């Protein structure tokens, strides 16, 4: 089925291909340029060029053709594996690496990298391009993620995520001094009716609960430890933006930063029960260098 995405330009002077690929991180710039050349992306209802400069308020329509049947290829992409047993891997994912193939990103994903090490990852008939994937991180979020190595492990781990029994703690930098310094955000999250590619706080959305703690204030920003009690799409980014503390570097819900080209969201801790023994284990990933450097520059 063809997917249609409608966007509104929020600034003047940005190239069309740059705007689309930045706002829709699942679409690479090369794929965006291909869609423009094929007439699948229009500006105010008219054909456009990739280099066209937008005006604030321009209406951009994107028609994404249905994906062609794909065969997953193993790729020799370096992985930082922090834990491994017969059932699973815990990987420290860098920012910029998509989890699984999708339109515009048919390769060079975490799945392609893992297949180079483990070609027999489990998959179901409706998740052919997502073998072993138990949960997800945004492309521009770094940190810890689990990949299951067999069907039983995939089933057990998925059940833990569904029961909200997995510990998921993130390090996040937001604009403003968040007060109170500890608290919960409880607000349902669903698709944004004005832009189906975004999420939003919505009365008819799914229950979502986020716990936060201020670690320290950095100039006019707050470094937070955020614990997810539910796992809705873009939950941290949507919840913090909704209470007036947008994430630094988040082009969709937050604020741009001269010191950072990605969103300041890092999956710092991950705890769960091992499928084989039910022993609870917890892993930790330090802030990557680009986020440490951003803190220094912002101080």
The set of catalytic residues is: 138
DSSP H or E stretch at residue 178:
none
Bridge partner list, 146: 90
Distance CA 168, CA 282 (A): 10
User: Would you say 235 and 184 are in contact if contact means Cβ atoms under 8 Å apart?
Assistant: no
What gap in Å lies between CA 266 and CA 275, rounded to an integer? 25
* Residue among 228, 86, 229 nearest 156 (CA): 86
Contact (Cβ atoms closer than 8 angstroms) between residue 200 and residue 190 = yes
Task: Please check whether residue 190 is in contact with residue 270, taking contact to mean a CB–CB distance below 8 angstroms.
Answer: no
Tell me the torsion sign for CA atoms 233, 234, 239, 244: negative
Cα separation, 142 vs 159, whole angstroms: 24
d(CA 130, CA 102): 10
């Amino acid at each position: 089925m063809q997917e249609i995405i409608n966007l509104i330009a929020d600034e003047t002077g940005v190239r069309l291909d740059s705007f689309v690929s930045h706002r829709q991180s699942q679409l690479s710039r090369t794929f965006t340029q291909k869609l423009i050349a094929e007439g699948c992306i229009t500006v105010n209802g008219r054909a456009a060029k990739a280099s066209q400069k937008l005006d604030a308020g321009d209406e951009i329509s994107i028609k994404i053709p249905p994906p062609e049947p794909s065969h997953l290829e193993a790729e020799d992409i370096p992985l930082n594996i922090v834990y491994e047993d017969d059932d699973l891997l815990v990987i420290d994912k860098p920012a910029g690496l998509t989890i699984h193939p999708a339109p515009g990103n048919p390769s060079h994903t975490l799945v392609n990298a893992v297949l180079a090490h483990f070609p027999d990852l489990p998959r179901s008939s409706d998740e052919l391009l997502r073998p072993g994937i138990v949960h997800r991180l945004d492309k521009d979020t770094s940190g810890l993620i689990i990949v299951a190595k067999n069907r039983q492990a995939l089933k057990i781990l998925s059940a833990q995520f569904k029961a909200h029994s997995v510990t998921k703690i993130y390090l996040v930098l937001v604009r403003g001094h968040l007060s109170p310094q500890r608290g919960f955000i409880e607000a349902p999250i669903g698709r944004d009716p004005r832009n189906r590619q975004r999420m939003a706080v919505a009365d008819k959305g799914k229950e979502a609960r986020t716990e936060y703690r201020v670690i320290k204030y950095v100039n006019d920003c707050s470094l937070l430890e955020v614990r997810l009690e539910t796992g809705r799409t873009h939950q941290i980014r949507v919840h913090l933006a909704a209470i007036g503390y947008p994430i630094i570097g988040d082009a969709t819900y937050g604020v741009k930063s001269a010191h950072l080209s990605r969103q300041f969201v890092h999956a710092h801790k991950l705890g769960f029960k091992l499928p084989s023994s039910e022993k609870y284990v917890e892993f930790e990933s330090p802030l990557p260098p680009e986020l440490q450097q951003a803190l220094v520059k912002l101080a």
